């Protein structure tokens, strides 16, 4: 029987790092579902498609040919039109545009189909915004991971600094807040804690402590 673990949470909640760590600890591959929304957004930006034009976006979905592959080290690699775009999906311009794109029902159906194809192949830890609520409501384990706005903005700033994209902490905090509002207020599959998800606030926990907190709930 396959095991599915859903980890949802807001921007910079540490989901990515925690999912990777948990994946290593448990020996279960992880799938970062945000990477799929990012790849769709990158494609639209690079092809100068107006992000407000839902109709045009939906007409272009069949050209994207989105594919998600798990690399040996459990990292997801994302391809569009046969090209590996993984290195570009975390650019800040993609981060700022992706909530608009992820709010369209047609885009969500398209991405959810790709996720389902991968998840059906075995045990997975799936990380996103709506995994426990929409994509896998019957997941074996569900977690809602979060942290205070200040801590999340500091984490996000550190990620951006490491990539050479330098913004002030205040600017980053404003961006994180805006992305939260977009994810929480969108009509379709908004970011919510599933009623049966375990709530974990990592504001005062190290990465290792957070991974251990989740791991202790999971019986394989
Ligand atoms: O986790 P992330 O920042 O890489 O996610 C990118 C965007 O994709 C974010 O704006 C929320 C959206 N997303 C979503 O709507 N549903 C998911 N399952 C995963 C991500």
Q: Is the pLDDT of residue 1 over 70?
A: no
Give the residue whose CA is nearest to atom 2 of ligand 1: 34
Q: Position of tokens 């974990």?
A: 200
Interacting residues of 108 by C-beta distance below 8 A, sequence separation 6+: 102, 188, 189
Is 200 a residue whose pLDDT tops 70? yes
Q: How far is the CA of 19 from the centre of ligand 1 (A)?
A: 14
- Which token pair is 90? 């975390």
Q: Does the structure show a pLDDT above 80 at 80?
A: yes
Instruction: Quickly count: other Cβ atoms within 10 Å of residue 158's Cβ.
Output: 11
Give the per-residue pLDDT at 119: 82
Supply the mean pLDDT for the chain.
94
Separation of 47 CA from ligand 1 center, angstroms?
21
Q: How confident is the model at residue 73 (pLDDT cuts 50, 70, 90)?
A: low
Nearest one of 164, 181, 33, 162 to 96, comparing CA atoms: 181
Query: How many percent of the chain have pLDDT more than 90?
Result: 88
Distance 101 CA to ligand 1 centre (A): 10
CA of 34 to the centre of ligand 1 (A): 4
Residues 6+ apart with CB under 8 A from 11: 152, 156, 176, 179, 180, 183
**Mutation test of ligand 1: which of 20, 31, 102 has the most ligand atoms closer than 8 Å to its C-beta?**
102
Q: Which atom of ligand 1 is nearest to the CA of 90?
A: 4
Beta strands in 9-117 (DSSP E): 30-32, 67-70, 76-80, 83-84
Write down the pLDDT at residue 164: 94
Distances (CA, A) of 108 to 1, 8, 52, 111, 212: 27, 16, 16, 5, 32
Q: What is the mean pLDDT of residues 96-102?
A: 96
Between helices 54-64 and 105-119, what is the axis angle to 10°? 30
Given a cut of 90, whether residue 121 has pLDDT beyond it is no
Residue with CA closest to ligand 1 atom 6: 34
Which residues neighbour 196 within 8 Å (Cβ) at sequence distance 6 or greater? Answer: 132, 142
pLDDT over 70 percentage in the chain: 98
pLDDT-based confidence at residue 118 (cuts at 50, 70, 90): confident
Contact (CB, 8 A) for 194 and 2: no
Alpha-carbon torsion angle 89, 90, 91, 93, nearest 10: 80
Q: Count the Cβ atoms, other than its own, within 10 Å of residue 45.
A: 17
Ligand 1 atom 5: residue of nearest CA: 34
Calculate mean pLDDT across residues 146-152: 98
- Beta-sheet strands, E only, within the chain: 4-8, 30-32, 67-70, 76-80, 83-84, 124-128, 141-146, 198-201
Burial of 73 (0-12, 13-18, 19+ CB in 10 A): exposed
Which domains occur in the chain, in start order? Answer: 4-213 (3.40.50.300)
């Amino acid at each position: 029987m396959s095991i599915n673990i859903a980890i949802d949470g807001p921007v910079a909640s540490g989901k990515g790092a925690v999912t990777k760590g948990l994946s290593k600890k448990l020996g279960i591959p992880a799938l970062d579902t945000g990477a799929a929304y990012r790849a769709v957004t990158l494609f639209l930006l690079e092809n100068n498609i107006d992000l407000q034009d839902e109709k045009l976006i939906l007409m272009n979905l069949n050209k994207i040919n989105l594919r998600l592959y798990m690399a040996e080290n459990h990292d997801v690699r994302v391809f569009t039109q046969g090209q590996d775009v993984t290195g570009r999906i975390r650019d800040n311009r993609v981060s700022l545009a992706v909530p608009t794109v992820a709010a369209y029902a047609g885009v969500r159906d398209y991405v959810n189909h790709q996720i389902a194809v991968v998840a059906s192949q075995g045990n997975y830890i799936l990380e996103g915004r709506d995994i426990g609520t929409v994509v896998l409501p019957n997941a074996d384990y569900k977690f809602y991971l979060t942290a205070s706005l200040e801590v999340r903005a500091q984490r996000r700033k550190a990620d951006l600094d490491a990539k050479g994209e330098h913004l002030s902490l205040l600017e980053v905090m404003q961006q994180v807040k805006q992305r939260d509002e977009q994810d929480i207020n969108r009509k379709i599959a908004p970011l919510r804690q599933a009623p049966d998800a375990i709530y974990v606030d990592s504001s005062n926990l190290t990465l290792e402590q957070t991974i251990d907190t989740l791991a202790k709930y999971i019986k394989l």
